[in-house]
Structure 1
Amino acid sequence: MSSPQVITPEEQLTEAKRQLGFPGIVVICGSMRFMAEMAEAELRETTARPGKIVFKPVGEEKSPNGLLSDPVEGEALKVRLDDLHRWRILLADEVLVVGDYIGDSTRGEIAYARSLDKPVRFTHPEVDPDA
């Protein structure tokens, strides 16, 4: 007698999205210095046929009057935003890395996505840390 196949929560999520007919979900990753390029990528991915649900990082939080301007509150918020971004990666079907530079945070996001077997695309493939 064979044992029943165990389905992971991630596999259940994928199957539920398929059954519901969800459009593809892409999460945009990259340095905050590429926010304008991320906005362009968001528009391209959303309006392509078939369109996709797009998540991207919250921007402009490092401006002098921004959400991260207070060092103590800003660090706590950054941790929360990083956690939320990892949840976006888990929910997404694929990751799009924007920009011609990969910092430590983005490198960690790429590694996390790949550990989940998520496809990772790059606007600048030459910066792929695993290429």
Structure 2
Amino acid sequence: MPRQTIPTTRPPIVALCGSTRHWDALAEANLYETAAARIVLAPGCNMKQPHPLWEDPDWADRLKQQLDELHRGKFDLADEVLIVNPGGYIGDSTRREIAYSRSLGKPIRYTRPVPCS
């Protein structure tokens, strides 16, 4: 008897994007996206908070570059990108990440409305 395959679909993957200065807002977005049955790819380090991993300035610079590259890889994997922008704040790094996501053709959502440009 032939083996029957059951079609499966995976949940959508969303990458979170936003300033780590709003770490609590990123965590809250992660919670809501997870509760909405989405796989969440989020920043894993908040280098604005002291930690032994990045207390050496030279190592911190290298780690920052490595983390930026890793984060772009998360956008590559994602089905969509959620910009976490409390109070409408979007910094320079987030603007670059939005441009990168757009270059990939990723749908982009925002936690707060943004003015049309």
Give the TM interval when normalised to the shorter protein: 0.7 to 0.9
Q: Which has the higher contact order (CA 8 A, sep 6+)?
A: 2
Poorly superposed stretches of 4+, deviation over 3 Å = none
Kept in 2, the 8 Å contact 1:25–1:52? The answer is: yes
Kept in 1, the 8 Å contact 2:16–2:81? The answer is: yes
TM-score by length of 2: 0.84
Q: Secondary structure at the match of 2:54?
A: coil
Quickly say closer, same or farther: Cα 1:101–1:68, change in 2 above 3 A: farther
Kept in 1, the 8 Å contact 2:21–2:48? The answer is: no
Which residues of structure 2 form unaligned runs of 5+? 1-6
| Equivalent residue, structure 2, for 1:21 | 9
Please state how far the C-alpha of 1:33 moved relative to its aligned partner.
Answer: 1.0
What's the RMSD between the two structures over aligned residues? 1.7
2:73 to 63, 87, 112: 87
Please state how far the C-alpha of 1:59 moved relative to its aligned partner.
Answer: 3.2
Which residues of structure 1 form unaligned runs of 5+? 1-18
Please state how far the C-alpha of 1:125 moved relative to its aligned partner.
Answer: 2.1
Quickly say closer, same or farther: Cα 1:79–1:125, change in 2 above 3 A: same
Alignment of 1:62-77 (within 5 A): 62-77=48-63
